[in-house]
Amino acid sequence: MENFEQIIEQTALAGEVGRQAQVTAAAQYYLEEQQKSLAETQLEVDSIISRCYHLLKQDVLKPDENGKVDWVANKDLRKLVFSDDGVDKLMQAINFYINKSNLLTNFDDDEIRRLAKTFNIEINDLILLKYEIIFRQPTFEECKSILLERIEEQAKIKVFAGEMIGVKLDKAKVVEGLLKETEQRIEYEMKKIKSEQRKEKLREYGLIMAQLDVIVFSALNRAYMGEERGSIRRHQNVSEVIGMRQSQTPKSESGVMKWLGR
How does pLDDT run across 105-161, given as a tens digit for each residue?
A: 888 889 889 999 999 898 888 888 888 889 998 888 988 888 899 889 989 998 898
Position 202 scores a pLDDT of 82
**Cα(189)–Cα(192) distance, integer angstroms:** 5
Position 228 scores a pLDDT of 57
How does pLDDT run across 178-227, given as a tens digit for each residue?
A: 888 888 888 888 889 888 888 888 888 888 888 888 988 888 888 786 66
Distances (CA, A) of 69 to 62, 66, 79, 85: 5, 9, 21, 28
User: Do the bridges between strand 60-63 and strand 69-72 make them parallel or antiparallel, or are there none, so unpaired?
Assistant: antiparallel
Position 164 scores a pLDDT of 87
Q: At what angle do helices 84-97 and 46-57 cross, to 10 degrees?
A: 150
Task: State phi, psi for 68 to the nearest 5 degrees.
Answer: -80, 125
Class of residue 8 by CB neighbours under 10 A (exposed 0-12, middle 13-18, buried 19+): middle
**Residue 238 in this model has a pLDDT that exceeds 70:** no
Domains of the chain by residue range: 81-225
**Residue 252 in this model has a pLDDT that exceeds 70:** no
